[in-house]
Structure 1
Amino acid sequence: MSTNPTAMSTNPYAAPRSILVAPPSTATGVPFYVVSARKFTWLFIATMGHYGIYWFYRNWHVYREYSGSRIWPVARAIFAVLFVHSLFALVKEALAEEGKVSWHAGRHAALMVILMLLSFLVDKLASESVGPPQLVWLLMPLFALQAFVWRKAQVIINVSCHDPDGQSNDRFTAANFFWMAVGALYWALFLVGASATL
């Protein structure tokens, strides 16, 4: 049997000699998108809920940068209804690790999904003139409920990111005001159209 160290090192059956070290974590900053409840509420209402799409995108984008996960935030924002539960499960894990408040993430996600689907259904029926014309007004209470549920989720996310009040993202930017102005036009068109059903 050869005692040549070179021959032994090329033996495919030999145990590896290198020390295995776990790769360093790529986690930096916070795991999710932080924004104050005040700012979130204004943007969500002013944009008729369209801010919710950006909100999902930002949460997944920040989480990808934090964890190094190979996910596609754009797709998860577009098909948000399919990924609400997985996002909230991650937030719940972060809360548990920090020993923060308990949260029924599954129920919260289910409620959010139900409200999104109901709003889509009512909007579709109203736009296709299915049912009474006044059906369009049902969108208002549904929207109010969505705003409340989304806001609660944001507060929980802020807690999981060590910023309960969202002070790190409380100021409105020029882009925020621009999209709020665009949203105001959408609100005006909606109210004019809805008023015609009375």
Structure 2
Amino acid sequence: MDNNNDILDSDLESTGTSKQEEIIISENKFMFLCFISFGLYQVWWIYKAWRFFQQRENLDIIPAARAIFSIFFLHGLFERILSYASSKGYGKVFSPTSNYFGYILVSLLSRLPEPFWLITLMNFTFLIPAFRALNFAKMNSSDIRATFQNDFTGRQIALISFGGVFWFLVIAGLFFTDPALRNL
């Protein structure tokens, strides 16, 4: 009898009646996490986006490698997100090429002298249109159960703590070091 239940359960799972669960965070939380973590959260978000498409489309890719080497794969991710969001009724259009080059250009500003290199921390602004589009698509997809996350998770709190300590060290270094020592 238990064997029959196993057969029925496997049939239900194979028909695809269960929805994929996806966690959605707000745009403000996304921007805060990107800024406070000095861009580490961006890498995590890019990884999660590639992993979403890998699972959804059965892609033969390594999402972690695509996140780490995003300079080579970010444009493709933007195009994939825009295409998927458009198929779910997303009416806004953003330029994957412009956002890609904007992201790369602002990232390259890290070579500027102190304190101007801090401009690089704003490169996440070029991820926001794709972030909005992907969230819209997930919320409007019939095969995804989107859950809005109001509170910070334990990992996010750890990231905020790490970022807070790092921000303290950066600010202390900018204001409390002798300018002559900075060029050594």
TM-score range, shorter chain: 0.7 to 0.9
| Among candidates 121, 138, 153, match of residue 161 of structure 1 | 138
Partner of 2:77: 87
Q: How far has the Cα of 1:59 moved from its partner?
A: 1.0
Letter of the 1:111 partner, please give it. G
Q: Conserved in 2, the CA contact under 8 Å of 1:95 and 1:102?
A: no
Q: How far has the Cα of 1:54 moved from its partner?
A: 1.0
Letter of the 2:148 partner, please give it. S
Partner of 2:172: 192
More strand by share: 2
- Do structure 1's residue 77 and structure 2's residue 53 form an aligned pair? no
| Among candidates 97, 101, 123, match of residue 110 of structure 1 | 101
Q: Conserved in 2, the CA contact under 8 Å of 1:84 and 1:113?
A: no
| Stretches of structure 1 lacking an aligned partner (at least 5 in a row) | 1-23, 123-134
Q: How far has the Cα of 1:173 moved from its partner?
A: 0.8
Counterpart-to-counterpart distance in 1, 2:27 and 2:147: 10
Which structure has the greater CA radius of gyration?
1
Partner of 2:53: 63
- Do structure 1's residue 149 and structure 2's residue 126 form an aligned pair? yes
After superposition, the CA RMSD in angstroms is 2.5
Aligned residues: 156
Closer/same/farther in 2, CA of residues 80 and 197 from structure 1, 3 Å limit:
farther
Partner of 2:156: 176
Q: How far has the Cα of 1:44 moved from its partner?
A: 1.0
Counterpart-to-counterpart distance in 1, 2:137 and 2:59: 19
| Stretches of structure 2 lacking an aligned partner (at least 5 in a row) | 1-14, 141-145, 180-184
Q: How far has the Cα of 1:75 moved from its partner?
A: 0.7
Q: How far has the Cα of 1:87 moved from its partner?
A: 0.1
| Paired-residue identity, % | 21
